[in-house]
Each structure stands twice: as structure tokens, then as C-alpha cells.
Amino acid sequence: MVFSSPIFLFVFLPLVLAFTALPGLKLRNFLLLLFSLLFYAWGEVVFVFLMLGSTVVNYYLGLWVDRETEPARRRWAVGVAVALNIGTLAFFKYANFAVDNFNAV
Amino acid sequence: MSLLGVAPLHFDRVRLPIGISFFTFHALSYVIDVYRRKWTAARNPCDVALYILFLSAVDRRADPALERHRATTRQTHYYPRGLCGRGPAVFGRVGEENDCRQCGGGPADQIFALSGAELTPVLAWFGTLCYTGADLFDFSGYSDMAVGLGKMFGFQFLETSTSRISPNPLRSSGAAGTSPCRAGSGIISTSAGRQPVFREAELREPRCWSSSCAACGTARAGLSDLGAVSRESSWCSSRTRFGSAAPGAAVASAAARLHFVAGDGGVGAVPGREFFPGSGFPAEHGRLEHCAALGPTIRTLCEPTGALVNRSGTGFFDAVLAVGERSGGGESDRPLPAWLQIAVQASGLVLETVVLVTLLLVSAAGWPEALTTPSFTSGFSANEPPLNPRENPRGQAWLVTVVFLVFDMAADGGLGLSP
């Protein structure tokens, strides 16, 4: 879904605004999260799981970094986080490129 | 490789998930901010998920850092929105479906596809211009949409480039050119001698405060920590803001002021743990060296007034706001006159509209004959608009214009959409 698409502007956005504006709503953030996932899943259902997985991993990485008090260990933890995230990104961005080049050579 | 007898790799093509750069870096920003102690790790995974995935990269351009660097959002309005280069600070192109790009991207692509023989200097320059416009509206448009959308839901997104002009806490506190320990610097001097109002809650760590006063000699060295401290204090505001949308509005604006006050000299920064009981503010933030970093201000507050505690029952945020108001916020926070703000905003909006509509009309309505070549027009005929709206540049273009302006105004609070 794109912001400038009619479905977002005239269906999705009003719906989300209406839902989240309900008074006394305890789960506002959770609802927003669900709608966000729907928003993303509109185009790519499969990758929603990738995003959720990334979120879960980073949630625990955050807890880990937070728990460590020793600077060296904190750096190690945040290093793991950077490596994991950038690794994922690099895979999706450059796997094709790498294989193509390998085969071309 | 075949010469070496290595078989070519067989490999299913990897599809690029839309927005992967965005949410990867966004997730990283969360962990790294935990590392830098800008906030503590969220206990609720939903909070993390919402931070990373809110409207799936609602903000593909700006950094939803929840206002953590900025005191107020007022400075934003001194500049014509969208033209002040907010976008270029952020890179990362996402997906192939950036509608904003079509404003100028279509003609640019066509012009760049021409062969050297067909390309005239005028056309080349025009293509460059179109490409520039496409980039501008791509970045800026999405930023505006994101900021506007965020406001609709009660979140304030940081605008990357404007954050650079926020008051520098170190510079503003040292602006007097005097020793930081001297009475009269910092908040007190700018509050025109009026006594700041604070509640007892701030003094719940007497060791911390008194040692700061005693540590005044080392305070100058400790000043380098001031920035970190003020960021930590704004962690509270971000937490408040992110945790609750609607009721957070008042608190959030107050918390933003809290950040400012903290940035301007540190009062109220460290004891954030006390002000937000149960918020999980890490204990080590109350350590002495951080407090020592706040020494000068604390000392200034200690010395001339002699009494920090006001038991009149003024609410904390009232107190902070009062100090914030009186301190005036340093030179960079002084608001422009209302008429000037409106004029600047309006001119920015008009300028954006004119540029945008011009690009759209040029790209959608066909080309001046002088610029065109037969091969050039063949793919882009104004006489036969395609029926498919996605391929109908004109319809698409106007839709994008309207959306862009609506969100732009929403981002400015002009539509009253923000809570």
C-alpha cells in the first residue's frame, strides 16, 4: 500500500484513525501495530514474517545490551546486533549480485 | 569459473523486501540507542515492534526518534517546509513505488534514456532539473507525509536536518563566557532573578546533589557529559509519548520543555527516575559523575536562591514550564513573530506548490514541441492517456499533489489534526 493510493487514503487511514480514536482504548499501540502489519502485508505477506523476526531478535538484543553493565560486554552485544542486522540487509541486497558475479567469472 | 571446473551456482533469485533498509536501520537505531542509554530496553515487545514497524516505515525518510534531540518543534516553522533540505539528510531508497518520484522522475528517465545525438543541451539541463525535483519531492514528500501521519496518531517524529539547529546545550550554557561555576550563569541569569519553582521530588537524592556542588571543581570536565544527560532525560519524554498517544500530548509538550531545561543547564535531568517512578530509568544514570556534570547549574541554583524546594505544590511540569518560559530558551529558540511565521510557511507552501504543479503539468500534459523528438514522445503521448490509473501520469500526479499538500499541512499542524 502506498500513502498516495486511494485505498490508503479513503479506506485504510480513516479506519485506523477511527479505531485508534476510540476513547478508553487500552490497546491503542497494539492496534496500531496490527494495522501497521496489515499495511505492510498488503503488498508482501511473506516478508511480514521477516520483519517480525527481525523485531523479535532486536527485542532480545535490546534486552541483552541493557542487561550488560560492563562496557566491553555492552560493546560486544551491540556489535552482534549490528552484524546481524547489516548481515540480513547485505544478504537481501547483494546475494543476487554476488551470485551473478560469481557465475559470470 | 567454468575453466576451473567449478559449476555455476544455482540460486533462486532473492526478492528484495520492500523497506528492508528502513526497518533494518530502524531496528538498529533501537538497539544502539539502548547501548547509548538514550532509553532502556522496552519490556514490552509490542513497543519495540511498533517503533520498528509503525505503519511499516511510515517514515521512510525521517528518523522517528521521538523528539529525543529536540526541545520544541517550533524551529521547524521558520523554514519553508520541504524546501529546507530536510530530506537529503536521509538516504535509503525504498521500493520501486515512490509516487512522488513520478513528479519529475518520468521525464527525467526519458530524457536520460535518449542517445547522445538526440540530446540537446536544453533538454539535458531540463532532465537534470526534473531529476532534482523528483528527488526533492521524493524525500521531502515522504518526510512530510510521515510527519503528518505521525501527528495524526499522536507521535512526533524527529526531523533529521532540523535537529541540527536545535540549541546546543553546551554552547548555550557556556554562552556567558564566564566560568560555569559562577553564580549567574545558566538558567538563573536568564530567568531575570526570579526564583525557580521546584518540588521536593527533585531532591530525593541529596547525596547526588550535594556532591555535585562539592564537585564543582571537576564540573567543567564533567560538562562533556551534559549532552548525554539531557538525552537521557528526554528518554522519559519519549517513553511517555510513545506509550500513550492522546493523553500524552500535554505531558509530551511539557516533557519536551523538560528536555530543553535540561539542555540549558541540567536541572531536572538526572532525577528523571524520580519523576517517572516505575519507568525503569536505569539506576546508573543517577551516578555521581552524571550529577557532577550538572554541577555548575546546581551550584548556581544553590547559591543565589538558597532554597531549591518550593513546597507550594506546584506541579512538576508547571514548574519546569515556568522556568522554561522565563529562561527564554536561548537565542535559537526565540519564536518569530506570528505573522512572519505564517508568511514563511505560506511562502514555502506556495513555492512548493508552484514547483510541484509545474513539474507535474510538464510531465503529464506532454511536452513543448521544441523540446521533443519523435522517439521521445512515442512513449509518452498526451493524446491517449492510458486507462490504468497507475499509468495515467496526470491523474496520479494530481493525486500526489493533493496528498502531499494535505500531509504537509497536517505536519505543520495547520489542519488541527494533531492532538
The answer to whether residues B353 and B80 touch, using CB atoms and an 8 Å cutoff, is no
Q: Cite the DSSP H helix spans in B174-247.
A: 187-190, 206-214, 216-222, 226-243
Q: How far apart are CA A96 and CA A53, in angstroms?
A: 22
pLDDT greater than 60 at residue A5: yes
What residue has cell string 536501520?
B25
Predicted confidence at residue B1, as pLDDT, reads 54
Q: Would you kindly state where each structural domain of chain A is located, as residue ranges?
A: 1-43, 45-105
The answer to whether residues A12 and A1 touch, using CB atoms and an 8 Å cutoff, is yes
* Cβ count within 10 A of residue B263: 29
Are the Cβ atoms of A65 and B153 closer than 8 angstroms?
no
The answer to whether residues B191 and B327 touch, using CB atoms and an 8 Å cutoff, is yes
Q: What is the mean pLDDT of chain B?
A: 45
What residue has cell string 501521519?
B149
pLDDT greater than 70 at residue A69: yes
Are the Cβ atoms of A40 and B49 closer than 8 angstroms?
no
Band of the pLDDT at B396, cuts 50, 70, 90? low
Are the Cβ atoms of A54 and B24 closer than 8 angstroms?
yes
Comparing CA positions, the residue from B303, B53, B182 lying closest to residue A39 is B53
What residue has cell string 513520478?
B102
Which range (B126-140, B159-173, B358-372) has the least confidence? B159-173
Predicted confidence at residue B127, as pLDDT, reads 72
Chain B nearest-CA distance from A93, in A, is 7
pLDDT greater than 70 at residue B253: no
Band of the pLDDT at A84, cuts 50, 70, 90? very high
The more confidently predicted of residues B378 and B192 is B378
Mean pLDDT score, B299-312:
26
Residues of chain A in contact with residue B52, where contact means CB-CB under 8 angstroms, are: 51, 54-55, 58
Mean pLDDT score, B357-364:
63
- What's the CA angle centered on B386, arms B381 and B387, to 5 degrees? 160
Residues of chain B in contact with residue A72, where contact means CB-CB under 8 angstroms, are: none
Among the partner residues A33, A44, A65, nearest to B17 by beta-carbon distance: A44
Are the Cβ atoms of B20 and A43 closer than 8 angstroms?
no
pLDDT greater than 70 at residue B323: no
Q: How far apart are CA A68 and CA B225, in angstroms?
A: 21
Are the Cβ atoms of A3 and B149 closer than 8 angstroms?
yes
Q: How far apart are CA B14 and CA B8, in angstroms?
A: 17
Mean pLDDT score, B390-419:
52
DSSP code for B157? P
Predicted confidence at residue B162, as pLDDT, reads 34
State the number of CA atoms in the 13 A half-sphere of B47 facing the CB.
19
pLDDT greater than 70 at residue B280: no
State residue B16 phi and psi, 5-degree precision. -85, 115
Mean pLDDT score, B84-91:
28
Are the Cβ atoms of A81 and B1 closer than 8 angstroms?
no
State residue B158 phi and psi, 5-degree precision. -70, 140
Mean pLDDT score, A73-84:
90
Most A CBs within 10 Å, among B1, B31, B102, to test the A interface: B31
Band of the pLDDT at A83, cuts 50, 70, 90? very high
* Cβ count within 10 A of residue A64: 19
Mean pLDDT score, A67-90:
87
**3-state SS class at A30:** helix
pLDDT greater than 50 at residue B257: no
Chain A nearest-CA distance from B18, in A, is 8
**Helices B20-35 and B45-53: angle between axes, nearest 10 degrees:** 130
